[in-house]
Amino acid sequence: MSEDPEIKVASYAKKKGQIVMRPHEYDGIQEYDQTLPNWWLFIFYGAILFFPLCWLAYYQFGMMRPDGERVAVQMAQIEKVKAKALDEMLAKLDDKVLINKWAKDDQTVANGRETFMANCTACHGQNLSARMDIGNGQSVPLPGLSLIDGQWKYGSHPMDIFKLINAGTPPDSAGNNGAKMEAWGLKMAPIKIVELVSFIIRQNPKDFPEAQN
Ligand code: HEC
């Protein structure tokens, strides 16, 4: 093997810190023969290392998520807890329990009255008649249905009333002259709706005589 004088020169020059060119040249284009500076290599290998670390942190450990994604995950958890609470309540609830247990409990009915006065009177009226007194013995109708007229558009069983308040006007219903009720279950815990139903039951002695005490 014959020795290439260029190579000897190149390694000598490199040791001396001088710039060395590769021996070839194409169309006047030449190439440096230098080791890359450490700062450059550091960034290069650092970038290679950076990728698996990020991949692990972001995809495997769920770190560094943007706020929107974190909120979505937490909302999904809240929805799960709410759905579970509703399932648990529905599992121990039926018409008889609502009438004989909940509606007979004065504290439950009082809680229901409080929730009703705070959330429902705008459309169903202070006295549940869906009318508002405007003085001089006159009254005007409100958007909701009367809850004391003995007519139950979506079913007269306590569970029907529970489900209607929880889920609002069914999607396939045209509502009351176009007015639909929202799903209160989105805002209220199941126990709140139990209290509301208990209150409504107690306001209807004719429909629910066994609930009065
Ligand atoms: C923004 C107005 C509005 C508010 C506030 C409102 N409702 Fe309603 N509610 C309605 C309307 C409108 C209907 C009739 C919906 C339909 O016909 O589909 C209705 C229907 C009902 C019915 C069914 C009555 C029947 O005859 O079957 C019940 C029960 C009821 N609401 C309870 C409540 C309770 C409890 C609250 C408070 C948590 C409440 N509503 C708050 C507008 C309202």
**pLDDT exceeds 70 at position 2:** no
Instruction: Identify the three-state secondary structure at position 140.
Output: strand
Q: 163-178: per-residue pLDDT in tens? A: 999 999 999 999 999 9
- In whole angstroms, give the CA distance from residue 73 to residue 65: 10
Q: What is the DSSP string of 67-118?
A: HHHHHHHHHHHHHHHHHHHHHHHHHT--HHIIIIIITT-HHHHHHHHHHHHH
Q: Where in the chain is the domain with CATH 1.10.760.10?
A: 67-211
- Best substitution site from 121, 123, 194 to test ligand 1's pocket, by max atoms within 8 Å of Cβ? 123
Give just the sign of the alpha carbon dihedral 62, 67, 71, 72.
Answer: negative
Burial of 202 (0-12, 13-18, 19+ CB in 10 A): buried
- Amino acid in position 118: A
- In whole angstroms, give the CA distance from residue 148 to residue 203: 7
- Tell me if 158 sits within 8 A of 165, measured CB to CB: no
Residues 6 or more apart in contact with residue 30 via CB below 8 angstroms:
21, 22, 24
156 or 22, which is more confident: 156
Q: How confident is the model at residue 20 (pLDDT cuts 50, 70, 90)?
A: confident
Specify the CATH architecture of the domain 67-211: Orthogonal Bundle (1.10)
Average pLDDT on 53-59 reads: 94
Average pLDDT on 61-85 reads: 93
Average pLDDT on 180-184 reads: 97
Q: 116-175: per-residue pLDDT in tens? A: 999 999 999 999 999 999 999 899 999 999 999 999 999 999 999 999 999 999 999 999
Is residue 168 in contact with ligand 1, taking CB distance under 6 Å? no
Q: What pLDDT does 55 receive?
A: 95
**Nearest 5 degrees, angle CA 164-CA 111-CA 157?**
30
Is residue 119 in contact with ligand 1, taking CB distance under 6 Å? yes
Q: 30-45: per-residue pLDDT in tens? A: 988 877 889 999 999 9
What's the CA-to-centroid distance between 185 and ligand 1, angstroms? 13
Q: What pLDDT does 165 receive?
A: 98
Average pLDDT on 176-188 reads: 95
Q: Which atom of ligand 1 is nearest to the CA of 143?
A: 12
Residues above pLDDT 90, as percent of the chain: 80
Enter the DSSP assignment of 59: I
**pLDDT exceeds 80 at position 3:** no
